[in-house]
Amino acid sequence: MSEQVSRFGVTELEELPEDLRERVGVIAGKSGFVPNIFRALGRRPAELRAFLDYHDALMERSDGLSKAERELVVVATSGANHCTYCVVAHGAILRIRSKDPQLADRVSSNPWQVELDERGRAIVDLALALSQDSALFGEPDLAAARDAGLTEDEIWDVGAITALFAMSNRLAHLTALRPNDEFYGMGR
Amino acid sequence: MSEQVSRFGVTELEELPEDLRERVGVIAGKSGFVPNIFRALGRRPAELRAFLDYHDALMERSDGLSKAERELVVVATSGANHCTYCVVAHGAILRIRSKDPQLADRVSSNPWQVELDERGRAIVDLALALSQDSALFGEPDLAAARDAGLTEDEIWDVGAITALFAMSNRLAHLTALRPNDEFYGMGR
Amino acid sequence: MSEQVSRFGVTELEELPEDLRERVGVIAGKSGFVPNIFRALGRRPAELRAFLDYHDALMERSDGLSKAERELVVVATSGANHCTYCVVAHGAILRIRSKDPQLADRVSSNPWQVELDERGRAIVDLALALSQDSALFGEPDLAAARDAGLTEDEIWDVGAITALFAMSNRLAHLTALRPNDEFYGMGR
Amino acid sequence: MSEQVSRFGVTELEELPEDLRERVGVIAGKSGFVPNIFRALGRRPAELRAFLDYHDALMERSDGLSKAERELVVVATSGANHCTYCVVAHGAILRIRSKDPQLADRVSSNPWQVELDERGRAIVDLALALSQDSALFGEPDLAAARDAGLTEDEIWDVGAITALFAMSNRLAHLTALRPNDEFYGMGR
Amino acid sequence: MSEQVSRFGVTELEELPEDLRERVGVIAGKSGFVPNIFRALGRRPAELRAFLDYHDALMERSDGLSKAERELVVVATSGANHCTYCVVAHGAILRIRSKDPQLADRVSSNPWQVELDERGRAIVDLALALSQDSALFGEPDLAAARDAGLTEDEIWDVGAITALFAMSNRLAHLTALRPNDEFYGMGR
Amino acid sequence: MSEQVSRFGVTELEELPEDLRERVGVIAGKSGFVPNIFRALGRRPAELRAFLDYHDALMERSDGLSKAERELVVVATSGANHCTYCVVAHGAILRIRSKDPQLADRVSSNPWQVELDERGRAIVDLALALSQDSALFGEPDLAAARDAGLTEDEIWDVGAITALFAMSNRLAHLTALRPNDEFYGMGR
């Protein structure tokens, strides 16, 4: 089988504009490798820049959902969307952030029925409702989230992260994006 | 019926950080009103900023797809996703950019069968394949697009716009976003 | 793009049997044009006659649902069925009968979540239940309609109109029926 | 279990307006019983009249499809729509018209894969395409029918019968219509 | 049309290993014919043996569900799965065991809405939930079954029979298995 | 979160009838633990016995598909069915048998598009066709498998394993079966 990372080729760190080279360099420094999503999106620096900005605005936010909960939304919706890159890469991050080596595999294989505490369940239910059949998303979905104690800001977080990964999942499907080898074993 | 613009309230132009106030102000100046998506996303300036950057990177790009073709992707996928805000707002823009007062209604009501020329059909087919059942998106979809003469860069455009509006549609469903009254009649 | 009205050709007013020529002539007189559905079905006068009879029995009935509510059922189910002809033609009639220039676009783009008053919501929910996954239609759907105050006769109306347009939508898909230009702008 | 024929009650032969009493009486005379669909629709004579006219125009037509082929369309689409009344009642008629006591059970349980000759397969494929996901119905469906030798008039027949039973199936689901006992054993 | 029993040919009674010849012989003795499923699976004696063991363990069990209720589960899920062999063969057995000549046709054509008593409805609902969209199967499905009075052992029965026929239905679809002529008329 | 292994409790090795105790004991000896499926099914020894027989007849067969290919079928269809137990447990076995630590995660997250060689792709396509929408399974699915060089016996293997795990997946969903901790890390 081929080792192709993206159907549209990759742009290596040193080929990126300076601001992106620096920014992705910091991530690569921490992880020890450049996540393939950045190599694939590097083909279009303006889009990579906006992607990073959107990602950081939602995934690095300190208020509201915990970091692990943010990754829970990503892994649940990416599992439902059958997005291999996001399941493998964010599965790794979820293992690390949740300190639970099994959670990602259980969430991604069946987000609808994975056993979670009440708050986790409410987060995942809300995310799936918006991710999967979004034309039907409505007041009952919001009411269930509020009943489980989610604040308006937390609901926005769940919804906006779900929306961002509706995009990311499709970018990964578009490019047939290959997860970096390193992700598979992280946090196990 | 209520006149609510967004489930999470709105942020008016004058409440936005200066850079966004200026940027959205330019759009409002041209259109004669502030599109409601900006009033809804203004609640989170960092997210609105990234959204605008992503939007402009894809929708204002001068290479590849024409401006009308970019809107065609938006209206087709938003129709399939049953996103009222995007159908109404981008339907208006498509009417203007295509100089065809009927195209938007026909595309949004049935993107799968609307009569288009070969290139238009290929663009919409590619967009729907990635938008709707994205886990199945694969080489045959790309091959069909290439057969119709789309370049790699145009295929990326179609795919990336589809992905962006997979996100936008879900933000609109999350917020129950109401289209501005002005959009309904524009370009008819 | 072609200007084809129906895949199976059209029959003009003067080619119809006398009773139909007169009957469709009255409609054409009021609207200022012959709606394309009659030109398409004219190929088979006996079927056109039965279609008109069925249509009038349900859409011109004075008891029960208001005229606007009848069109609401048509636009909601035709939107869910992605029937361009019915969305455009009956969208026009709904705009006129509801005196609301936006309602049709909002109903047709997302009938599941369009904001309606309680009675309107109950009508549309009942119609969608029967239209979309009709094998599951059952007592809970009827109970919800009754709870919202619909009478047995009104429930029949909603159900029978939904059924009639399950047929009409398929006739329009069969013939790739093109809406008359006049419908697009009516009542805006 | 209840013996209820229709959720909305029934109208007996003698309660019908004279023209319908006579017309349904002829059918009852031939079958030996009044098919329940007429007892259920009798609640609204104008609708029953239009229904009978439409039904006769399509099911009793002498050109084009054979009588058995017309029933094949009905049983295939009613099976796919899980309509018990139409499967049982028209299954009986199909057994009689095809002189094949097994065909109806095989068609209704799996219309997609039931073994048929080439013409029968083309008829059922066309009917299912229009019945099930009608927004996707398009030129390839028509081309396949033409390749199997169906004329334009036969294609119209298949499409129009499919459309009529999209309506009938929903009327039966609306009323929870009970098949007459007699239908179950006819033609076996 | 062909008289093919299975896409992979059949193995007749006398070709089976002795234990299977005897065992299937007993069944054939009682029915008067060898059900085609055994002729098709005979190609792989070890699989036929395991199939018979599994089948008997669940369908001949004396505790818990009645024999008729076991067949109700089979016919309901096989109807939903559009499995002609199982609908026809187990429909016959259901007619005999329930002493109701109509029940099988009504259950198989629309298991979701067929009128049943409360216990029957609970059994069928549980079976359909596990059969159709099994990733969503969860506590609410079990709670509904318990509310209707099903014991844990009866719930296991319904679930395990549903699972067994998820397998059987696929074996029948794999082999395009033809029901024996005798089944069609049994118990009518 | 609970540590519940099965909704219906578990039966430990020493509580099983002697033949099963010995047979499952051998497996436990090799793996170092008793796979939870056996502890859950032990509640019904006759069913566990048939399950083991069926499993061995198909998964331990020496002709035809390789052992790794048999697990490929299991992981692909269990991924499509969102069955956590089977994805985790058979994912571990696939890692070991394929000597590829990444294959299971890639297959289970998106079996439709995972990159495989031609034979692997044909095996998975056949399995998914039968697993997912089995009413549509037909000659074109078989023809594609034969074109890729699969023999009739290999096609039977793929089909029968798919069928067996249509059952297993539902047993796991029924019992909310928890994968043993050991499976998560095996073969990585």
pLDDT of residue A78: 98
The answer to whether F112 faces chain B, any CB pair under 8 Å, is: yes
Cβ atoms within 10 A of the Cβ of C3, count?
A: 6
Q: In a mutagenesis test of the D interface, which of B112, B114, B124 is the best target, namely the one with the most D β-carbons within 10 Å?
A: B112
Contact D174 C166 (CB under 8 A): no
pLDDT > 70? residue D1? no
- Closest CA in chain C for residue B3: C115
Mean pLDDT (chain B) is 97
pLDDT band, very low/low/confident/very high, at D3 (cuts 50, 70, 90): confident
CA distance C90 to C93: 5
Q: Do chains B and D touch (3 or more CB pairs under 8 A)?
A: yes
**E59, E62, E68, E74: CA torsion to nearest 10:** -20
Residue of E nearest to A112 (CA): E136
Q: E143 CA to chain C: closest CA distance, Å?
A: 19
In degrees, rounded to 5, the angle at the alpha carbon of residue F55 between the alpha carbons of residues F51 and F57 is 120
Closest chain A residue by Cα to residue B6? A156
In chain B, which residues have their Cβ closer than 8 Å to the Cβ of D136?
112-113
Q: In angstroms, rounded to a whole number, what is the distance separating the alpha carbons of residues B166 and F142?
A: 36
pLDDT digits (tens, 9 = 90+) for F45-60: 999 999 999 999 999 9
Chain C nearest-CA distance from B18, in A, is: 34
Nearest-CA distance F179 → chain A (Å): 9
Q: Closest to F101 (Cβ–Cβ): which among A117, A173, A184? A: A184
Q: Between D105, D117, D185, which is nearest E88 by CB?
A: D105
Minimum distance, in Å, between the CA of residue C174 and any CA atom of chain E: 26
Chain F residue nearest residue D110, CA to CA: F135
Q: Which two tokens stand for residue B176?
A: 């129950």
Say if residues A174 and A166 touch (Cβ distance below 8 Å).
no
Residue F1 pLDDT:
55
3 state DSSP class of D177: coil
Contacts of C113 in chain B (CB under 8 A): 82, 84, 173, 176
Best of D171, D175, D177 to mutate (most C CBs within 10 Å, chain C)? D171
Instruction: Mark whether D and A touch (3+ CB pairs within 8 Å).
Output: no
- Separation in Å, CA of C96 to nearest CA in chain B: 15
Determine C/F contact with 3+ CB pairs under 8 A as the test.
no
Return the H-helix or E-strand segment holding D94: helix D84-98
User: By CA distance, what is D133's nearest residue in B?
Assistant: B112
Interface of A with C in 138-157 (CB under 8 A): 138
Q: Does E135 touch chain A (CB under 8 A)?
A: yes
Q: What is the pLDDT of residue A3?
A: 81
Residue E88 confidence (pLDDT): 98
Mean pLDDT (chain E, rounded): 97
Instruction: Tell me whether residues F88 and A110 touch, CB distance under 8 A.
Output: no
Does the structure show a pLDDT above 80 at C35? Answer: yes
Average pLDDT, integer, range A32-52: 98
Facing C8 at nearest CB: one of D83, D156, D163: D156
Q: How confident is the model at residue A68 (pLDDT cuts 50, 70, 90)?
A: very high
CA C48 from chain center: how many Å?
15
Ranking A124-133, D127-136, F2-11 by mean pLDDT, the lowest is: F2-11
Chain F residues inside the 8 Å CB shell of E140: none
Cβ of residue E109 closer than 8 Å to a chain C Cβ: no
Asked if D85 reaches chain C (Cβ–Cβ under 8 Å), the answer is: no
Percent of chain F with pLDDT over 70: 99
The C-alpha angle with vertex F104 and arms to F101 and F110, in degrees rounded to 5, equals: 135
Interchain CB contact of B128 with C (< 8 Å): no
Q: What is the rounded CA–CA span in Å between residue E126 and residue E155?
A: 8
Whether residue C173 lies within 8 A of chain B, CB to CB, comes out as yes
Residue count of chain E: 188
With contact defined as 3+ CB pairs under 8 Å, the chains touching B are: A, C, D, F
Contacts of A65 (CB under 8 A, 6+ apart): A73, A123, A154, A157, A158, A161
**Cβ contact (<8 Å) for F81 and E135?**
yes
| Region of residue C99 (left: phi > 0; alpha: psi -120 to 50; beta: else) | left
Q: DSSP string covering E19-64, please?
A: HHHHHHHHHHHHHSS--HHHHHHTTSHHHHHHHHHHHHHHHS--SS
Q: What integer is the mean pLDDT of D34-57?
A: 98
Q: What is residue E60's predicted lDDT score, i.e. its pLDDT?
A: 93
CA distance D68 to chain B (A): 32
| Residue C183: pLDDT band with limits 50, 70, 90 | very high
Q: Which residues of D touch C8 (CB under 8 A)?
A: 152, 156
Low-confidence residues of chain B: pLDDT under 50: none
The number of beta carbons lying within 10 Å of the beta carbon of residue D114 is 22
Asked whether the beta carbons of C68 and C164 are under 8 A apart, the reply is no
The CA-CA-CA angle for residues C144, C147, C149, to 5°, reads 120
Query: Contacts of residue F173 in chain A, CB cutoff 8 Å?
Result: 113
Chains within contact range of chain C (3+ C-beta pairs < 8 Å): A, B, D, E
Nearest C-alpha in E relative to A109: E135
Q: What is the mean pLDDT of residues F9-26?
A: 97
Please name the residue of chain D whose CA is at the shortest distance from the CA of residue C46. D57
pLDDT tier, C3 (very low <50, low <70, confident <90, very high otherwise): confident
> What mean pLDDT comes out for the span F63-73?
96
DSSP string across F112-137: TT----HHHHHHHHHHHHHHHSGGG-
Interchain contact A84–F (C-beta under 8 A): yes
Please tell me if residue C65 touches chain D, with a CB cutoff of 8 Å: no
Using one digit for the tens of pLDDT, what is the confidence trace for C151-174?
999 999 999 999 999 999 999 999
Q: How far apart are the first and last CA of chain C?
A: 26
For the whole model, what pTM was predicted?
A: 0.97
Which residue is listed with tokens 């070991």? Answer: F96
Q: How many residues does chain F have?
A: 188
The verdict on B7 touching C (C-beta cutoff 8 Å) is no
Mean pLDDT computed over A11-31: 97
- CB distance from B176 to chain C under 8 Å? yes
Is C109 in CB contact (< 8 Å) with chain A? Answer: no
Between chains, do A138 and C112 touch, taking CB under 8 Å as contact? yes
* Residue C46 contacts D, CB cutoff 8 Å: yes
Give the neighbours of chain D: at least 3 Cβ pairs within 8 Å. Answer: B, C, E, F
Q: Nearest-CA neighbor of E38 among E165, E179, E183? A: E179
Q: What is the pLDDT of residue B3?
A: 81
Q: What is the mean pLDDT of residues F104-111?
A: 98
CA distances from F112 to B138, F120, F122 (A): 9, 12, 11
- Chain C nearest CA to B80, separation (Å): 9
Q: Which pLDDT score is estimated for A1?
A: 54
CB contact under 8 A, B115 and C2: yes
State the smallest CA–CA distance between residue B120 and chain A in angstroms.
19
Average pLDDT over residues A7-33: 97
Determine the distance in angstroms separating the CA of B128 from the nearest CA of chain C, rounded to an integer: 14
Nearest chain A residue (CA) to F107? A84
Chain A residues whose CB is inside 8 A of the C112 CB are 135-136, 138
Nearest CA in chain E to D86: E109
pLDDT band at C97 (very low <50, low <70, confident <90, very high): very high
Q: What is the number of other CB atoms lying within 10 angstroms of the CB of residue B121?
A: 15
Number of cross-chain residue pairs from D and F with Cβ atoms under 8 Å apart: 8
Q: What is the pLDDT of residue E3?
A: 81
Kindly indicate the confidence band of residue C1, based on its pLDDT and cuts at 50, 70 and 90. low
Nearest to B96 by CA among B67, B139, B74, B119: B67
Across the interface, of A79, A114, A188, the residue whose CB is closest to F184 is A188
DSSP-assigned letter for residue F33:
S
